[in-house]
Amino acid sequence: MTYRGALAVNATPCHNGNVSLVTQLPRRRTRLVRAGAVYIAVVIVIGLAAASRPNNLLVWVFSALVAAMIISTFASGILMRRVRALRIEPRRGRVGEPLIVRYEIRNISRYVPVYDLHAHEVLTSERLRCVGDAWILHAGPRDTVHAESVFQPMRRGPVRLCDFEVSTTFPFGLLRRVLRFAQSGDVLIHPEIRFLRHEILARVTAGGVGGQRLASSAGGGDDYFGVREYRAGDSVRQIAWKRLAGTGRLATIERSRAVPPRVRVLLDLRSPTDSLRVTANERARDLEESAIVLAASLLSLADRMGYEFALSVAGVDLPPIALRRGHFHREKLMSLLAALDLDAPRTVGNGIASSDERATIIAVHPDRSDTTIAPRDSWHFTARQLESMCEITRAASESTTHADASSVGAAEERA
């Protein structure tokens, strides 16, 4: 199954690209906010006072309050009548990084401006948490304004964004007029990437096949690779004179090609979640997720160190991915990890028996190491080792984040 197919298992893309057109008018609703309820109570009290005390000035104040209520009811409806909105969601996000969703608000009215618009996502998945709604101060007649909401991805996996609401309490904050736009969009949340210590990969690739740093084909290096028949155009300097003297046939010496170290991460998901061995304080699903995070972190570290890397997942019907380098390759692997469905039935026996890739194989297990899944010279890690492999532990990372936040707050205060 291809990557697209794997993604399609959990989430059906509903549009071409990341922007889908709104094909129907928004649903409109009006909600009474708390301030509005208080306001109505106050108006009723003043109305009773005005009725019981024949004071015309009080009656006028009551009338003005009632008029403000009527205006509030109709004005927000008129202002929002010609507001159209479009969500521009990103294709992917990552756990631990802000996910920014943009909204394009169009005011197609000729004359009426709109103020104080909130764009709010109606989330049906727990994978996302909103940490800042989009807010638009003003959109003039025929204006198009962009605003952004910030979400915190909580778990990896595909997320479907269905409806979003654009609302306002303008002009007086008594009623909230809501436009609900139906626009589906899919976002794939990649697993979290932890910053692992550099020496881990350096050590596992220091010797053995992964550390040869030689390609299986000839190149322009210094080391000897082999001899082949002379071809026209070969440099005279590369001719194997001894071979010529012995055999009388022209031969050319080939030099090896220097290649970066190679790492293949093998994620072991053969055991169903229920059969994992966990302690009293652990949850089996968390261990599996940690294993995925460790695999993603290893791949990310390999990418940062310039290695060629690949991913194999045992227990899932997924063919091994070839060794490659680069950002796109990494994103492809991350998407693959993101789309893994741990609730799907597992397959048995598709580990790596032997490999001629000359790559270091790192097997990542959720609960305990199983050396039978990979050749003998492979490395095995478990999910429990994740914290110890990190450059910065999670607690330190959080304290650093808080320190950053307080410093930002202090900076804003100074400003």
Q: Where on the chain is the footprint of another protein (CB under 8 A)?
A: 23-25, 46, 49-64, 66-68, 70-71, 75, 98, 100, 105, 107, 113, 115-116, 118, 131-141, 143, 145-148, 150, 152, 169-173, 401-402, 404-405, 408-409, 412
For another protein, the closer CB: 51 or 396:
51
Work out whether the CA dihedral 89, 329, 12, 271 comes out positive or negative.
negative
For residue 343, count CB atoms less than 10 angstroms from its CB and return exposed for 0-12, middle for 13-18, buried for 19 or more. exposed
Of 182 and 389, which has the nearer Cβ to another protein?
A: 182
Do 362 and 265 touch, CB atoms closer than 8 A?
yes
**Of 117 and 363, CB closest to another protein:** 117
The smaller minimum CB distance to another protein, of residues 70 and 206, is found at 70
CB of 185 to another protein, least distance (A): 19
Q: Is 332 exposed, middle or buried (0-12, 13-18, 19+ CB in 10 A)?
A: middle
Beta strands in 108-250 (DSSP E): 114-122, 128-132, 134-139, 144-153, 157-168, 175-190, 214-229
Cα(201)–Cα(322) distance, integer angstroms: 19
User: C-alpha distances in angstroms, 207 versus 211, 305, 378, 380, 381?
Assistant: 5, 17, 11, 16, 18
* Closer residue to another protein, CB minimum distance, 66 or 227: 66
- Of 227, 218, 229, which is closest to residue 256 (Cα–Cα)? 218
| Nearest approach, Cβ of residue 172 and another protein (Å) | 5
Q: Which is nearer to another protein, 100 or 123 (CB)?
A: 100
Query: Which residue type is seen at 347?
Result: T
Tokens of 108: 């197609």
Q: Are 307 and 262 in contact (CB under 8 A)?
A: yes
Least Cβ distance, residue 53 to another protein (angstroms): 6
Q: How far is the CB of 130 from another protein (least distance, A)?
A: 9
Q: How far is the CB of 330 from another protein (least distance, A)?
A: 23
**Residue burial 212-243, b: 16+ Cβ < 10 Å; e: rest:** bbbbeeeeebeeebeeeebeeebeeeebbeeb
Nearer to another protein, 8 or 182 (CB): 182
Q: How far is the CB of 289 from another protein (least distance, A)?
A: 20
Among residues 1 and 37, whose Cβ is nearest to another protein? Answer: 37
